[in-house]
Structures are given as C-alpha cells and as structure tokens.
Amino acid sequence: MPAAAPALELRAVERHYRRGEEVVTALGGVDLSVRPGELLAVLGRSGSGKSTLLHIAGGLDTPDSGTVMVAGVEISAMPAAARARLRRRSIGFVFQFFHLLPSLSVSENVELPLLVERTRASHARASRDRAAAMLDAVGLAHRARHLPGELSGGEMQRVAVARALVTQPALVLADEPTGNLDSVTGASVLDLLTSHVREMGAALVMATHDPAAAACADRAVELSDGRLA
C-alpha cells in the first residue's frame, strides 16, 4: 500500500513583501514535510517568518513561488474559492489573540465553521450537537451562552481550540497559541490542544516561543530570516 500523503508539504516556498523601495523576504525558500498525525513545533525569533509560514500553509496567503500541498492536494494552485472550501473542511486555526467573533455566543463561535459548510437544514441539529460536544470536551459547556468578552484569556483560547477542532480537520495550525496567556494557563491550553489533536489523529504545526510547547511536539524546526535551519 502506498504511504499516506504528508498532511502538509511545502516545496521551495518563497514570500516577499514590498515595503517602499525595500523588499522584505519573509520566506526565502522553505521545504517542509509534516506526516499525518505529527506534532511539529516551529521556533524562531520574532520576524523570522513563522506567521507567514502558517498563513501560507493554511491557504490564508499564497506564496510568490513554490508549492503547498495539504493531504496531497496542491492548495497553492487552487482558485481562491476552492482553497477556502478546502481550508474550512481540512484545516483548523488557533491564533495568539483568539480571534473569536465578539457578538456571537461561545457556542455560536464553535458552531460557525460547521454552519458555513452546512447546505441542508437537516444538518442543523447535528451541527449544534457537535459544537456542544466539542465545547464540553474543552470543559466549557457551562459557558455556552456567554459572549467571548465575558471569558478569561485561557477560556477564550479553549473556545478557539474547540472551534479549530469541531470540523475534525486533518491539519491544525496554531500561531503562538500560548503567547498571550500566563504560564499556568498556557500549559493547560497546550495540554488540551495537543491531547485532542493526538486523539483525532490530526497533524499540528505550532509556531511558538514557549519551550514547554516545543517539548510537547514530536519534532521542532527553527526558522531564521525566512529559512529553516
């Protein structure tokens, strides 16, 4: 049987930004392969290209050159609408500053990725049940009707983890998920994220400064000036 395609594969990925006359190289030719179910930490100082790498891996941004494959599908060559569909179905994101929608309740935030995909009214109940189960799994069932602004930072990030995982994505991308949390809260969010990712068999690519986060990963790579050391 042929081996499964990598969960994520970047080949010779470059991304340059123009800043006035100057060209900033955010990614200067990155090759990276992440196995299905693998937990990878991406280290590197601020400005080394970690966020750019995650945005490109998740199809939120496109490379200037090179290819990006998610579960064997080349997303870098897809039209924007198809890329967005694949992103919604196969990729979950967790951000440093949570990015919850402030006017939606906690349960609505978690259900949102399912609502966007839902085409038939008969799925309404299933979406609600899945969101409720996911919220329960991150220990926040009792917060379902609250607004994000009523939660602590750690609780908001747990909601963001539930939202990222509710579609059972093959690939989870986390950009400094503990960067805005104190160390105790960060450790518990990290434990929650990695244990659920492992249980689901998803792959995780996590940009982090946090040595504890790197220690939870199967492998760590380091970015320096847009290149992997």
Q: Which residues bind Mg ion (CB under 5 A)?
A: 50-51
Total residues in contact with ligand ADP, by rule CB under 6 A: 12
Q: Which residue from 39, 40, 52, 210 is in contact with ligand ADP, where contact means CB under 6 A?
A: 52
DSSP E strands, the chain: 8-19, 22-34, 39-43, 65-70, 73-74, 91-94, 171-175, 203-207, 219-224, 227-228
Q: What is the dihedral of CA 157, 155, 38, 174, to 10 degrees?
A: 10
Rounded to an integer, what distance in angstroms lies between the CA atom of residue 156 and that of residue 134?
14
Cβ neighbours of residue 145 under 8 Å, at least 6 residues apart? 105, 106, 107
Contact 152, 143 (CB under 8 A): no
Determine, following the binding rule CB under 6 A, whether residue 26 of this chain makes contact with ligand ADP: yes
Nearer Cβ to Mg ion, position 62 or 105? 62
User: Of 18-26, 101-109, 133-141, 182-190, which part binds ligand ADP (CB under 6 A)?
Assistant: 18-26
Q: Which of 165, 182, 63, 183 is nearest to 111 (CA)?
A: 165
Question: By three-state DSSP, how is residue 98 classified?
Answer: coil
Q: Which residue from 13, 43, 48, 94 is in contact with ligand ADP, where contact means CB under 6 A?
A: 48
Query: How wide is the angle at C-alpha 42 spanned by C-alphas 66 and 172, nearest 5°?
Result: 80
Contact 36, 208 (CB under 8 A): no
Tokens describing residue 108: 């609505």
* 224 DSSP 8-state letter: E
User: Of 43-51, 138-146, 160-168, 196-204, which part binds ligand ADP (CB under 6 A)?
Assistant: 43-51
Work out how close the CB of 190 gets to ligand ADP at its nearest, in angstroms, rounded to a whole number.
18
Determine, following the binding rule CB under 6 A, whether residue 208 of this chain makes contact with ligand ADP: no
Determine, following the binding rule CB under 6 A, whether residue 51 of this chain makes contact with ligand ADP: yes
Work out how close the CB of 156 gets to ligand ADP at its nearest, in angstroms, rounded to a whole number.
20
Determine, following the binding rule CB under 6 A, whether residue 24 of this chain makes contact with ligand ADP: yes
Q: Of these partners, ligand ADP, Mg ion, none, which one is at the site of residue 58 (CB under 5 to 8 Å by kind)?
A: none
Work out how close the CB of 107 gets to Mg ion at its nearest, in angstroms, rounded to a whole number.
29
Determine, following the binding rule CB under 6 A, whether residue 17 of this chain makes contact with ligand ADP: yes
Work out how close the CB of 144 gets to ligand ADP at its nearest, in angstroms, rounded to a whole number.
33
Work out how close the CB of 206 gets to Mg ion at its nearest, in angstroms, rounded to a whole number.
12
Q: Of these partners, ligand ADP, Mg ion, none, which one is at the site of residue 19 (CB under 5 to 8 Å by kind)?
A: ligand ADP
Binding interface with ligand ADP (CB under 6 A): 17, 19, 24, 26, 44, 46-52
